[in-house]
Structure 1
Amino acid sequence: MPAAENADPAGRPVWDPAQYLRHAGHRARPFADLLARVPALPTDPPRIADLGCGPGNVTAHLADRWPTAHITGYDNAPEMLDKAAAEHEGPTPGGGRLDFRPADARTWTPQAPHDLIVSNAALQWVPGHAARLSDWMAALKPGGVLAFQVPGNFAAPSHRLMRSLAGSARWRDRLADVLRHEDAVLAPEAYLERLAGPGRTADVWETTYVHLLAGEDPVLDWVKGTGLRPVLTALADDPGAREAFLAEYRAALRAAYPAGPHGTPFPFRRVFAVAVKEA
C-alpha cells in the first residue's frame, strides 16, 4: 500500500500529493478567479500567507502576481509540506521569497501584520473556521486583504453518496463519524455577514464550475485526492475493506455522473470571499 495512505496515529486524513495533483488544472482555476478579485496590496514588498497551501502548486502563483512578496504557505499535512518545499521553496524570480511552514488554521495567527491572507479550498477542513475570520482581518495591515474560496458542494451526489454509504449498516461502525457534513462551510450570505462591517468591505459570490473530466471513473479519481481521504485513512489497515468500499462507491458514482461523448461532466459549486480592511 502506498505510504501516503498509511493510517495516521492522530486520526487526521493522510494526504497523497500525487493523487491530489492529478486534477491540478481544474483545482487551480478557482484560485485564479479568486486572485482576479484581489485589489492592489498596501505595501511593497508585501507579506502574504497561504493557509492550507497543500503541495504548493497554487501558492507559487502568488509570486507571479506579487513578484517581490515574501510568501509563506502553511499546512498541517507533513506530506503536502514536503512536496511544496521540495518543488517551490526558495527565492522567486522577482526578488521575493517562498517558504512553507507547519501550522493549524484553527489556532494560527501571524506574528506581524500581513498584506494578504489567502486560502484556497482548505477552510472546509477547519471546524469553526468562521470564528477565525475576525482574527485574521485584525491581523491585516490597513488596506490589507483576506481572500478565500471553499467548496460549496457538500449537497452534491459525490458527497451525499459518500456519506450515505459510510453510514450504511456495513460501514457505519468504522466510518459513520469520519466524514464532513453540509455545515462544513457557510452559505455565502453568512460569510458576507461576518466579513462586512465598519472599517472593512466585503465581496462574496459563488460559482458552479462544470469540469469535463477524462478517463475511467474520473469523479472517483477526483475525490480520492480530497473528500475521500478520511475514508481511505480509516480503512488503510484493511485493504480488502477499502477496496470493497471503493467498489460500492464507484458504482454509485457511475450512475450519478454518467460519462458523455466528450468526457464526464462534474458540476462543482464554490463559494468565494474577498474582504478589505480600510486604509
Structure 2
Amino acid sequence: MAWDPAVYSAFAQPRLRPALDLMARIEPADAARVVDLGCGTGNVTRLLKERWAAADVVGVDSSPEMLATARGDGGGVRYLQADAAAWAENGGAVDILFSNAALHWLGDHRTLFPRLLGRVRPGGVLAVQMPHNHYAASHAVMAEAAAAGPWSEVLSPLAARFPVGEPSFYYDLLAGGSSHLDIWETEYLHVLEGDNPVVAWTRGTALRPLMDAVDGAWATGFLAEYARRIQAAYPPRPDGRTLFPFRRLFMVARKG
C-alpha cells in the first residue's frame, strides 16, 4: 500500500496531539537509543530527538514516500526503511520504543506486543498509541458502502477488519514483563473544516487499503457512496464545521 505524505499531513495538527500526549506520559529517563516505529514523515521522531538529544534516535517506516519526506527535514535523526513486524524480530535493543498510530496496521498483536517489549532494555519504556475508533460511524459506514455495490466481494473483507483489541487484552500481554504499566483511552473531539472533511481524513488512513484495491468506475462509485453516507453520519454544524469524535488507545510499559 503506497502512502501519500501530502494527504496524510492534511490533518497534521490533530494527528500530532495524541503523540504529544503519549510522549508526556513517559517519565524522564536517560536513553542511549530511541526508536520511533512507524515514523511516517518524521515529525514526531524529530520531537523525540529534541527530548532525548544525546540519544541515537532512529525512525523506522516501510514507506519510501514517507521516509523521503522525513529525511528531507533533517533534525539529526537516522531513518531506516523496514517493516515494523520484521524490525520487532531483528531490531536490536532500545531504551525507548515509541510507536504512534502505526501498529494497528499489523496483525497478530498477541505475538507482536510481547516481542516489542522484549526489544526494550530493563528499565526502558515501550510507548504505543493506536486508533481505537473502528466501531465508530466513520468505519461502520465504510463497511456499509463496501457492501453496497458491485465492488462488495473485493472491499467487504477489507472493511471488516478490527485490528485493535480492548485495553484488558494488552494488559494481559504486557503486565508480566513490566514493572509499571499504564493503559488508557482518550476520545478527541476534532473540529474539522471543509466540505465533508471526514472523508478527507479517512482517505489519508483507514480508507487507503480499500481505495488501493479498486480502480476506475468501482473506485469512483465506492468513494461517492461512502461520501454520501458519511455526510449524513457527520453533518456540518450551524457554523459550517464538522465534529469528528475519535477514540485512541494508549499504553506505556516500563520494562521490568
Runs of 4+ in structure 1 deviating by more than 3 angstroms, as ranges, are 109-112
Structure 1 residues 199 and 259, CA gap change in structure 2 (3 angstroms): closer
Residue type of the partner of 1:47?
A: R
Structure 1 distance, partners of 2:222, 2:166, is 31
Normalization by structure 2: what TM-score? 0.93
Partner of residue 34, structure 1: 22
Structure 1 distance, partners of 2:206, 2:177, is 36
Deviation, structure 1 residue 111: 4.5
In the alignment, structure 1 segments of 5+ residues that lack a partner are 1-12
Alignment RMSD, CA only?
1.6
Conserved in 1, the CA contact under 8 Å of 2:117 and 2:177? no
Residues 1:128 and 2:128 aligned together:
no
Partner of residue 270, structure 1: 248
Residue type of the partner of 2:106?
A: V
Structure 1 distance, partners of 2:236, 2:147, is 27
Conserved in 1, the CA contact under 8 Å of 2:149 and 2:222? no
Deviation, structure 1 residue 146: 0.1
Structure 1 distance, partners of 2:91, 2:209, is 32
Normalization by structure 1: what TM-score? 0.86
Structure 2 distance, partners of 1:137, 1:42, is 18
Structure 2 distance, partners of 1:105, 1:178, is 20
Deviation, structure 1 residue 167: 2.5
Partner of residue 165, structure 1: 145
Residues 1:19 and 2:44 aligned together:
no
Deviation, structure 1 residue 196: 1.0
Partner of residue 122, structure 2: 142
Structure 1 distance, partners of 2:238, 2:166, is 34
Larger deviation, residues 50-59 vs 189-198: 189-198
Structure 1 distance, partners of 2:178, 2:202, is 39
Q: 1:223-274, CA deviations, whole angstroms, 9 ceiling, x for partnerless residues?
A: 01000101221124x2x32222111111101100011134100000000000
Deviation, structure 1 residue 76: 1.2
Structure 2 distance, partners of 1:68, 1:218, is 40
| Identity rate, percent | 41
Q: 1:184-209, CA deviations, whole angstroms, 9 ceiling, x for partnerless residues?
A: 00101111121112552210000000
